[in-house]
C-alpha cells in the first residue's frame, strides 16, 4: 500500500514539476514572442548576465545571444521576463512609446530606493512639470554664466588640492568634487553641518543598486534627506538651490508631492548628476593618459583659448566653452566607448506588436546601448578610442546610434550640465597642470564599471 502511495505522490510531483518548467520556458503570449531562452526556473539567465568582463566590448551575454537569436531576443533576469533590444530602430521606437505603451523601470532594489510609484514613473503633465523644473535649474542655457562660474570655482579648488598630494585616486577625488557641486546646487549641502557624511552614505547605497531589494526608507540616508526637506519647508530663508524650487511647489494649494516624495526626487537628482559625471571624468582622464595624440590636440585647443584672451587668468566665458569642439569629441567618445549606463529599462504596460513579435504587458524591455555604440557598421574600429570620429557631427546628446543620455521624453535633462562639468575640469587640468599615471586604470564591468585597482595619478601644477 505504502509503495503505491509513494509512487502516486512521486508521479504527481513529477507531473507538476514538468508542467511548471514547461510554463516557465514557454510564457503565455497572445502572439509570437521574440526568440531566446528563459533559462533555468527562478534563476533564469541571471548568473550569466552578471558575469564580469574586463573589456569595453559588448557584454558576452548580449553578444552571444545576438549571434544566436538576432538583435531582439527574450530572457529572464532576476525573476523578470525581459525582451532585450540591440536594434537601433526598435530601441528608438521604445523610447518614443514612453507613457503610451511603456513606462520607466529599473531593478527592484533601485525602484524601491527612488519610489517605484512616485516621481520616476510619473507620466503626462506631472512628468512634464518635473522635467521643466529640472531644466530651469540645471540647464546651462538658462543660467550660463552663473553655472559656469560655480563649476569653475569647484574645479579650481579641487585641482589645487590634488596637486599638493603625492598621488590621488581619480575616481575617489572626482566623486568628492562632483558630489560637492551637485549637492550644493541641489540642496546647499554643507557636510560640516551634519553628523553623517551624505556622500559616504550615498556611495554605499550605489553599490547595492543592482542587487536585492533594500529596506531603504529606514536608512540614515533617507532620513537625512527628509530632515533637510522638512527644515527647508518651515524656513523662510532662500538658498537659490533646487530644494527651494521643490519647497515652493510643495507649498502650493495642490502640490505635486509631499516630503517623502520630495526626498526621493532629491536622491534621483543626485544620482543622475554626480555618479555618472564622476565615472565619465575618471574614464576620460584614463583614456587621455593612454593616447598622447589626444592629449596634445586637447591641450592645443585649450591653450588657444588662453592665447586669445586679454587676461590669461580671467574666468571662462560661455563663448569659450562653446568653442571647445575637440573637447566635446573627447567626451562623446568617452561616453560611447565606456557605456556608463550599460542598459536602459522600460516596462510594457500593454501588449506591443512590432516586426511580427508580441511583447506581453508587464514584461521588461531592456535597451542595450553597448550594442548600439559598438556597432561596427556605424563605428569603424568600434573598440578604439578615437575622438576624431565625431568631427563634423556637432554636439551629440541623443540619436538612434548614440544613447549615452537615454532617449525620448526621459532623455537626461542634465546632459548639457554634465558635459559642461567635464569640459571645465579638462580645461584647467590640461592648461594649469600636468599629470602622470602611476598605476591602475583596469576596469571590470559587472554590469556597471568599477576600477578594481583604482586609477592613481600624480598631478603637478605647471610652472
pLDDT tens digits for the chain (463 residues)? 557 667 776 666 666 666 656 566 778 888 899 999 998 888 889 889 988 899 999 999 999 999 999 999 999 998 889 999 999 999 999 988 888 898 877 655 455 544 444 444 455 555 666 667 776 766 676 667 788 998 999 999 999 999 999 999 999 999 889 888 888 887 777 655 554 556 665 665 555 444 444 444 445 556 667 778 888 888 888 888 888 888 888 888 878 777 877 777 777 777 777 778 899 999 999 999 999 999 999 999 999 999 999 888 899 999 999 999 999 999 999 999 999 888 888 999 999 998 889 999 999 999 999 999 999 999 999 999 999 999 987 666 667 888 887 776 667 767 888 899 999 999 999 999 999 999 999 999 988 888 999 999 999 998 7
Q: How many domains does the chain have?
A: 1
Instruction: Count the neighbouring beta carbons within 10 Å of the beta carbon of residue 254.
Output: 5
Report yes or no: 74 and 81 within 8 Å, Cβ to Cβ. Answer: yes
Residue 127 placed within a domain: yes
Residues 6 or more apart whose Cβ sits within 8 Å of residue 152? 315, 316, 424, 428
CA distance 243 to 241: 5
Q: What is the CATH number of the domain that holds 110?
A: 1.10.630.10
Residue 51 placed within a domain: no
Pairing of strands 168-169, 72-77: unpaired
Residue 318 placed within a domain: yes
Helix (H) or strand (E) holding 365, with range, is strand 364-367
Q: Find, among 412, 385, 386, the residue nearest to 276 by Cα.
A: 412
- Angle at 290 (CA atoms; ends 289, 292), nearest 5 degrees: 75
- Show the cell assigned to 158: 579641487
Residue 218 placed within a domain: yes
Domain of residue 329: give its range: 101-339+374-430
pLDDT of residue 232: 85
Q: What residue numbers does the annotated binding site for heme cover? A: 412
pLDDT of residue 300: 97
Q: What residue numbers does the annotated binding site cover? A: 412
Residue 20 placed within a domain: no
pLDDT of residue 439: 94
**DSSP bridge pairs for 457:** 168, 437
Q: What are the E-state strand segments in 26-137?
A: 72-77, 80-85, 102-104
CA distance 138 to 101: 29
| Cis amide prior to 447 (ω within 30 degrees) | yes
Which 3 state secondary structure label does DSSP give 196?
Answer: coil
Residue 12 placed within a domain: no
Amino acid at each position: 500500500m505504502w509503495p503505491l502511495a509513494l509512487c502516486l505522490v512521486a508521479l504527481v510531483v513529477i507531473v507538476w514539476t514538468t508542467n511548471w518548467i514547461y510554463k516557465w520556458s514557454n510564457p503565455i503570449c497572445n502572439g509570437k514572442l521574440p526568440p531566446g531562452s528563459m533559462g533555468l526556473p527562478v534563476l533564469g539567465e541571471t548568473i550569466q548576465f552578471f558575469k564580469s568582463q574586463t573589456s569595453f566590448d559588448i557584454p558576452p551575454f548580449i553578444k552571444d545571444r545576438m549571434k544566436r537569436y538576432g538583435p531582439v531576443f527574450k530572457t529572464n533576469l532576476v525573476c523578470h521576463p525581459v525582451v532585450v533590444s540591440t536594434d537601433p530602430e526598435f530601441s528608438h521606437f521604445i523610447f518614443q512609446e514612453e507613457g503610451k505603451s511603456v513606462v520607466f523601470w529599473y531593478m527592484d532594489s533601485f525602484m524601491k530606493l527612488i519610489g517605484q510609484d512616485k516621481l520616476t514613473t510619473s507620466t503626462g503633465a506631472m512628468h512634464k512639470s518635473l522635467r521643466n523644473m529640472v531644466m530651469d535649474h540645471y540647464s546651462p542655457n538658462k543660467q550660463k554664466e552663473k553655472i559656469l562660474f560655480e563649476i569653475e570655482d569647484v574645479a579650481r579648488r579641487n585641482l589645487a588640492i590634488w596637486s599638493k598630494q603625492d598621488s590621488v585616486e581619480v575616481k575617489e577625488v572626482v566623486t568628492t568634487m562632483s558630489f560637492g557641486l551637485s549637492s550644493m546646487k541641489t540642496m546647499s549641502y554643507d557636510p560640516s553641518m551634519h553628523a553623517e557624511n551624505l556622500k559616504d552614505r550615498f556611495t554605499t547605497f550605489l553599490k547595492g543598486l543592482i542587487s536585492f531589494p533594500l529596506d531603504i526608507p529606514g536608512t540614515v540616508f533617507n532620513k537625512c534627506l527628509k530632515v533637510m526637506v522638512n527644515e527647508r519647508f518651515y524656513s523662510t530663508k532662500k538658498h537659490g538651490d533646487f530644494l527651494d524650487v521643490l519647497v515652493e511647489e510643495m507649498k502650493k494649494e495642490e502640490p505635486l508631492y509631499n516630503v517623502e516624495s520630495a526626498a526621493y526626487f532629491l536622491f534621483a537628482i543626485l544620482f543622475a548628476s554626480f555618479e555618472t559625471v564622476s565615472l565619465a571624468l575618471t574614464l576620460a582622464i584614463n583614456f587621455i593618459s593612454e593616447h598622447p595624440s589626444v592629449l596634445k590636440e586637447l591641450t592645443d585647443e585649450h591653450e588657444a583659448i588662453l592665447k586669445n584672451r586679454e587676461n590669461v587668468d580671467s574666468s571662462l566665458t560661455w563663448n569659450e566653452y562653446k568653442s571647445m569642439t575637440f573637447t566635446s569629441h573627447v567626451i562623446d567618445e568617452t561616453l560611447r566607448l565606456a557605456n556608463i549606463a550599460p542598459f536602459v529599462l522600460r516596462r510594457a504596460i500593454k501588449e506591443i506588436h512590432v516586426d511580427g513579435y508580441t511583447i506581453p504587458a508587464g514584461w521588461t524591455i531592456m535597451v542595450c546601448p553597448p550594442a548600439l555604440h559598438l556597432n561596427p557598421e556605424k563605428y569603424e574600429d568600434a573598440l578604439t578610442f578615437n575622438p576624431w570620429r565625431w568631427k563634423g557631427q556637432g554636439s551629440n546628446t541623443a540619436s538612434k546610434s548614440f544613447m549615452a543620455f537615454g532617449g525620448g521624453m526621459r532623455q537626461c535633462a542634465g546632459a548639457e550640465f554634465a558635459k559642461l562639468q567635464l569640459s571645465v575640469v579638462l580645461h584647467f587640468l590640461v592648461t594649469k597642470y600636468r599629470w602622470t599615471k602611476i598605476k591602475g586604470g583596469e576596469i571590470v564591468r559587472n554590469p556597471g564599471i568599477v576600477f578594481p585597482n583604482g586609477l592613481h595619478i600624480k598631478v603637478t601644477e605647471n610652472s
